[in-house]
């Protein structure tokens, strides 16, 4: 596992002499048997930091849980734990904003923020969806959010949804005197389309967007995070 996920390969190659493999290879520094199980072991593997691109979750997981999990020499493999040294974790910018910035945007302090996900999550027209958002915000909620499934389906295209939700936010704010919010789902089939939706949310003055990183991917999520950081979006 240590070799396959770092510098090793199935045979000796002449290019090994062109670099210092001792510096870059992964090392298994301990092996423990799994209590009560036969032929199962916990292997502790350490990797040099130089094997990983700075600030790239994608590269990190490609190295740790990538093609090594298809290694035919292993009957089974499972990642139990992962410890990342501060020197590497500090290369990631992290979330563009935290809870304090969200409170500042909504001007809500000293109590929990109250919100909900609009239901039914699928099947409503954009106009009726916006109506549901308005009723929730007008009724006292601080924010509402799209469900992860809500993208741009035939019954409710994303641009129409953004427009009616923005209208609901502005109307509820005018009637309550409070700042309201809604998590607009910018998840899309391509990164380009995702950024287009984020930019449109910014144009509408809607300060909060969301992205499903489990299906959209770490690279898309990081790109969107950088965009939000640079453009004042949550």
- Tens digit of each residue's pLDDT, the chain (234 residues): 777 777 766 667 777 777 777 777 888 899 999 998 888 889 899 999 988 999 998 888 888 887 777 777 778 888 889 999 999 999 988 777 788 888 998 899 999 999 999 999 899 999 999 999 999 999 999 999 999 999 999 999 999 999 999 999 999 999 999 999 999 999 999 999 999 999 999 999 988 999 998 899 989 999 999 899 889 888
User: Longest C-alpha distance within the chain, in Å?
Assistant: 74
Contact assessment for residue 91 and residue 49, using Cβ atoms and an 8 Å cutoff: no
> What SS3 state is found at 27?
strand
Q: Which residues of 106-115 are buried (b: 16+ CB within 10 A; e: fewer)?
A: bebeeeeeeb
What's the CATH code, domain 14-89? 3.30.70.150
Instruction: Decide: 194 and 211 in contact? Cβ < 8 Å.
Output: yes
Predicted structure pTM score: 0.80
SS3 string, 41-102, reads: EEEEEECCHHHCCCCCHHHHHHHHHCHHHHCCCCCCCCCCCCCCCHHHHCCCCCCCCCHHHH
Domain 99-231, classified CATH 3.40.50.970, yes or no: no
| Token couple for 197 | 């939706």
Within the chain, which residue ranges are assigned CATH 3.30.70.150? 14-89
The residues of the chain that CATH labels 3.20.20.110 are 99-231
């Amino acid at each position: 596992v240590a070799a396959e996920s770092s510098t090793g390969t199935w045979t000796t190659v002449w290019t090994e002499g062109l670099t210092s493999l001792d510096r870059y290879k992964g090392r298994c520094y301990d092996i423990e048997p799994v209590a009560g199980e036969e032929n199962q072991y916990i292997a502790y593997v350490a990797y040099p930091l130089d094997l990983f691109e700075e600030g790239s979750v994608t590269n990190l997981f490609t190295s740790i849980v990538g093609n090594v999990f298809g290694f035919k020499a292993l009957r089974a493999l499972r990642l139990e734990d992962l410890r990342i040294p501060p020197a590497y974790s500090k290369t990631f910018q992290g979330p563009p904003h935290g809870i304090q910035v969200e409170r500042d945007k909504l001007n809500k302090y000293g109590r929990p923020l109250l919100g909900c996900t609009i239901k039914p999550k699928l099947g409503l027209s954009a106009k009726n969806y916006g109506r549901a958002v308005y009723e929730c915000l007008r009724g006292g909620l601080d924010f509402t959010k799209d469900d992860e499934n809500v993208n741009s389906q035939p019954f409710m295209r994303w641009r129409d949804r953004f427009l009616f939700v923005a209208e609901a936010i502005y109307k509820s704010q005018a009637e309550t005197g409070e700042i309201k919010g809604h998590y607009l789902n910018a998840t899309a089939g391509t990164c380009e389309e995702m950024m287009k939706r984020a930019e449109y949310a910014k144009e509408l003055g809607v300060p909060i967007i969301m992205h499903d990183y489990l299906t959209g991917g770490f690279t898309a999520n990081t790109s969107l995070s950088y965009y939000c950081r640079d453009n004042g979006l949550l």
